[in-house]
Amino acid sequence: MGWPSLSNRFRNRLGGNRLWQLLLLALTALAVTITLSSCQNITQTLENSPLSRLRLENFKTESADIPRLISTVLGEPKTFNYLLSQESTSAAVLSLMYEGLIGIDQVSSEIIPALAESWVISEDGQTITYTLKDNLQWSDGEPLTVDDVVFTYNDLILNEEIPTDTRDILRIGIEGKLPVVRKLDQRRVEFKIPEPFAPFLRVTGIAILPQHILAESVKTKDSDGQPLFLKKWGTGDDPTTVVGNGPYTIKSFIPGERIVFTRNPYYWNIDDDGKRQPYIEQVVWPVVNSQDAEFVRFRSGDSDLMSVTPDNFSLMKQDEAQGNYTVYNGGPTTTRLFLTFNLNKGSLNGKPVVNPVRSAWFNTVEFRQAIAYAIDRDTMLTNIFKGLGEMQNSQIAPQSPYFTDSGVPIYDYNLEKAKALLLSAGFQYQGSQLVDASGNPVRFTMQTNVGNEIRESAGVQIKQNLELLGITVDFQPLDFNKLVENMDTTMSWEAMVLGFGAGVEPNSSANLWLTEGGLHFFNQQPLGAPPLPGREVYDWEKRISDLYVQAAQELDETQRKALYVETQKLVQEYLPFIHLVGQYSMSAVRNNVENVKYTALGGVLWNIGELKLTES
């Protein structure tokens, strides 16, 4: 599966606001750097493996029996519990299994009905009343009712005993107040919010979960006093017991091999001819450990979708007719690619989060600005992205009406400016080696997720660029799960090349910018933990946080844009993120997949219920 398409699909399905999902999905969203000769070598290696040949033959035999859409996935899920999912594959799995009250048309960006057939917003904008579609059902055939909606919000999301980042996206205003949700009758549910909140309607794309399956696990506690819900639907459980309301359910999960989805026979969407969607009987995600393997599978005809990278674009375009596929180009990606430093000055378990010497460098604005000037993004665009991309200078996607490219600081490659900034901040040179005022050589570790070769290539270039500045970078691509652990649990990281998927609505990433947000990872306060001793929040950091709150309260679109423009200027001036280059959103899709409506926002699968397979 092309990760950009998958990314946008589950952003739509899950409400467009699960930033950990978006952030960690973006860790795999950019595609592989591959040469034709290396692909041939990999293909030969795979073909020469007896185990691979056996599995491939079995897989092809199974595929011939049932029409199915096949698309590879990097990594495997860590949980099937929607509210506890914090990494890309889990979120992607759940995107096929759950829907919320509303959805998003990824062509027009308009809000469309999902589980709710309609809604009414009060004049003051503080009450929204939803009317559910009639005769909704869960994938086990049980009725889906207003009680499920109230349970999802009041007993799960708003329950302080359940540590979920989803709760933060419902917080409103400076005080972070939460909505009040109540049942009006058998089909109507009311949301009351304490003050105007412009993005609230879009927020209610959050998945609705089944009360009849989960209620007991919320009430019952384990020996540590924790709700059993926190252990519900782990990957060690039978995935066929996971009950959803989306187009698909899990048929089987073989760790390290594949995830097989089967159509939900009770899915609510019925077409104009009275036929229930989705049309495709099964969706299969073979698990691969690299984008090289993903590329090889598509080229050999063993998958139907694949993200197209700048490095393989020419080859893929050249073979379109022969391969019986179409390469779609949706223009600039919504994924933001950046280098970031750990700015946390606090201590965790009695130890500084970051080595104090290096922390002092990272927390110097001139240091971060010098790094930005020292990265040759023109060369990155030419060599890594083959010119099929754009410079990124904002945390907001260009498709958003709140994006600006005017008046924000731009850091074009300028090694002399970089050196001047460092000298002005007290750094000096001993020969060609940069040292700080105390004589410490400037050296740090930079990480990214292994297997994403464009991300890895960007890291290699940054390492080389900074050598010209006298800085030694220990570049360390890590296993995806280890990277997540470093960011979310131990906080033991110094610098990372990362990305996150930014939607049309900037508030979808507010949890990244709010100083106490669960996803404020560049200066993290752990969710639900006491304040970290020594953690410092900067004035500019607090200003960005306040602006996101104000922009969400502002109903006038002109004023909203002005507030978000200021955030973009502050991010570019103080550089919690050093924005790099974004590729164009491109995917290859077999021509037997019909009804594809490809966009950079939605990718290939945002309308998966409408997709059909024909004889190729």
pLDDT digits (tens, 9 = 90+) for 352-374: 999 999 999 999 999 999 999 99
For range 219-239, the mean pLDDT? 94
CATH number at residue 310: 3.40.190.10
Record the pTM: 0.76
Confidence of residue 574 (pLDDT cuts 50, 70, 90): very high
User: Worst-scoring range by mean pLDDT, 18-32, 71-85, 516-530, 591-605?
Assistant: 18-32
Q: For 458-471, what is each residue's pLDDT tens digit?
A: 999 999 999 999 99
Q: Do 106 and 126 fall within a single domain? A: yes
Confidence of residue 485 (pLDDT cuts 50, 70, 90): confident
Q: Decide if pLDDT at 86 tops 80.
A: no
Confidence of residue 29 (pLDDT cuts 50, 70, 90): very low
DSSP 185: S
Q: Do 567 and 589 fall within a single domain? A: no
Average model confidence (pLDDT) across the chain: 87
Q: Do 406 and 506 fall within a single domain? A: yes
**Type and span of the H or E element at 253:** strand 248-254
Q: Do 550 and 419 fall within a single domain? A: yes
Closest to 463 (Cα-Cα) out of 376, 333, 593: 376
For range 152-170, the mean pLDDT? 92
Identity at 382, one-letter amino acid code: T
For range 5-11, the mean pLDDT? 35
For range 112-128, the mean pLDDT? 95
For range 227-248, the mean pLDDT? 95
Q: Decide if pLDDT at 19 tops 80.
A: no
Q: Which residues form the domain of 13?
A: 3-98+220-331+585-613
Q: Do 575 and 456 fall within a single domain? A: yes
Residue % of the chain over a pLDDT of 90: 69
CA atoms within 13 A on the CB side of 225: 1
DSSP assignment string, 360-400: HHHT-HHHHHHHHHHS-HHHIIIIISTT-EEE---SS-TTS
Q: Do 366 and 514 fall within a single domain? A: yes
Confidence of residue 321 (pLDDT cuts 50, 70, 90): very high
Supply the pLDDT for residue 342: 97
Q: Are 405 and 393 within 8 A, CB to CB?
A: yes
How many domains are there within the chain?
3
Q: Do 63 and 207 fall within a single domain? A: no
Supply the pLDDT for residue 490: 86
For range 447-455, the mean pLDDT? 87
Supply the pLDDT for residue 488: 79
CA distance 512 to 495: 17
